[in-house]
Structure 1
C-alpha cells in the first residue's frame, strides 16, 4: 500500500535501551477531506527520513500492522500501526521559465512549420 501527501511534522528519533529505534512522521493527504496520517519508521528504515523536510511532497510505501495486548486486569486490547518501508520524493522545485500563454507567442515561433 502507499500514501501520498505533504509532510506536516517530523518527530525526533526515539532510541530505546533494547537497541530498538523509531521515528514518526505525519503526512497530510491531498484529497477533498485531507487526513493527517501518522507513519512510523523502525530500525534501519529511520534513515529514509534523513533528507525529508516539512512541506515536502512524498509517497510512502506502507505496511499496516496489528497486535493484541492483554492488560493486568485481563482485558484484551487491539492496536494498529502504520509502518513505512520506502519513500519516493516528489520534486519541490519549480521551473524558472514563465508559462507559455497565447499572448507570449509570436509569428517567429511558427517559422519551422513544413507548409
Structure 2
C-alpha cells in the first residue's frame, strides 16, 4: 500500500548497519492533526538511506511510503510489527494543501452530536 504525508522533519537518525547486507536510516515526521501533533517514525533502507542527506531538522517535506506489517511469535506469544517504509522524500511546496494519507481528496464527514460526548471545551484529552 502506498501513501503520502506532509510534515516537518522532527528528528533524523544516523544510518545503522543492521547486518552485513542490510542498512537502515530512521526519521521522525511531525504531522499537524488539529489540536494535537502526531509524530510518526519512518524508515529508509539500503540505497534509499542517502535520501535525507540534503535535509535538516525543521524542513517541511512530503514523504511517500509503504505501510507494512508482520506477526512475530516468541514463547507462544504473537506480537505484530508495523513499519512505515519511506521510498521518497521531497521538499514540500510552499502554500500547498496538506494531503491526507493515501493521497485521496475526501470531504470531512460532519460529526453528529451525541449525548456521551462532553460539551466541556476545556477538556484537552485526545480521547
What does 1:1-115 correspond to in 2, within 5 Å?
A: 1-32=3-34, 33-71=36-74, 73-90=75-92
**Cα shift at 1:30:** 2.4
2:6 and 2:92 in contact (8 A); partners too: no
**Cα shift at 1:59:** 0.4
Bigger-Rg structure (1/2)? 1
TM-score w.r.t. structure 2 length?
A: 0.67
TM-score w.r.t. structure 1 length?
A: 0.73
Where 2:56 maps in the other structure, the secondary structure is coil
Q: How many residues align?
A: 91
Between Structure 1 and Structure 2, the one with more helix by share is 1
Structure 2 CA distance for aligned equivalents of residues 66 and 82 of structure 1: 9
Between Structure 1 and Structure 2, the one with more strand by share is 2
Note the aligned Cα RMSD (angstroms).
Answer: 1.4
Runs of at least 4 residues off by over 3 Å:
none
